[in-house]
Amino acid sequence: MDYTFHWRPVFRQLPDLLEAALVTMEVAVLAMLVGIVLGMLLAIIRMSGRRSITWIATTWIELARNTPALLQLFFFGFGLGAFGLHLSPFLIVLAALSFNNAGYLAETFRGGFTAVPPTQKKAALSLGMTLPQTYLRIIIPQVLRVVYHPMTNQMVWSVLMSSLAMLVGYRELSGETQFLASKTYRIFEFFLVTAVIYYVMVKLILGGSRLLSWKLFRY
C-alpha cells in the first residue's frame, strides 16, 4: 500500500461540508413536504374511481416507482429543455425528488386509508361528529399510525436520493464534496467523511422519528 492519506484538507473544509449537509437537509425536507401534499392528492385521485382522472395518478405513480430516480432527475434537468423549460439546479432536484416522493407516498397513503374500516367513519358520523371532525379525530390519527414508518423511510430515501444532485451540478453535500475533492485530489478522504456525515444524518432522522412516535402514539 503506497497511498498516503491526507486528512488535513478535509478537516479544513469541514465547515463547508457541514453547511452543505444543511442544504441537503433543506432540499430533502422540502421535497418531502411537497411529496406528502402531492402524494395525498394522488392517493385521493386514485381512490376516487373516476376513470377520467385516475389514469393521471396511475401513470405518475407507476413512472415514479418503475424508473430510476436518476433518470427522473435527468428528465427534469435536460428533458424539459425540449419545451424551453430551463430550471435552476435547485429546482431540478426539488422537482425530481418531489415527483419521486409523491409516487411512493401515494401508495403508502392509499394503503393507510384502506387500512381504516369504513365503519369507523359511519360510526363517527352517527355519533354526531361533523365530517371534518371525523377526519381529524378518527380517520387521520389511525391512518397516521399505519403510514408513519413508511413515511420515515421515505424521508431517509429523500436524503439519500438528494445525493444524485451532484450529477446535475447542485452543490448540496455530495456536489460540494465532489467539488472540493476535485480541487484537492483527496477523493477518498473527502467521500469517506461525507459518508460519515450522511450516516449521522440518517441516524438523526430515525432517532428523531422514534422520539416523535413515542409522543404521537402514546395511546
Tell which positions 36-75 bind another protein, by CB under 8 A. 62-63, 65-71, 74-75
90: contact with another protein by CB under 8 A: no
192: Cβ contacts below 8 Å, ≥ 6 apart: none
Of 183, 193, 194, nearest to 159 (Cα)?
A: 194
Type of residue found at 124? A
Exactly one of 7, 11, 55, 188 binds another protein (CB under 8 A); that residue is 188
Distance CA 86, CA 77 (A): 8
SS3 annotation, 134-162: HHHHHHHHHHHHHHHHHHHHHHHHHHHHH
Exactly one of 56, 81, 120, 210 binds another protein (CB under 8 A); that residue is 81
Which residue number, 113 or 190, has a Cβ lying nearer to another protein? 190
Distance CA 87, CA 92 (A): 6
Residue 174 phi, psi (nearest 5): -70, -45
1: contact with another protein by CB under 8 A: yes
185: contact with another protein by CB under 8 A: no
Q: Are 177 and 190 in contact (CB under 8 A)?
A: yes
138-177 footprint of another protein as x/- string (CB under 8 A): ------------------x---xx-xx-xx------x--x
Min dist. Cβ of residue 206 to another protein (A):
9
Exactly one of 41, 140, 144, 192 binds another protein (CB under 8 A); that residue is 192
Which residue number, 18 or 127, has a Cβ lying nearer to another protein? 18
Give the largest CA-CA distance in the chain. Answer: 77
Residues in contact with another protein by the rule CB under 8 A: 1, 3, 62-63, 65-71, 74-75, 78-83, 156, 160-161, 163-164, 166-167, 174, 177, 187-188, 191-192, 194-195, 198-199, 202-203
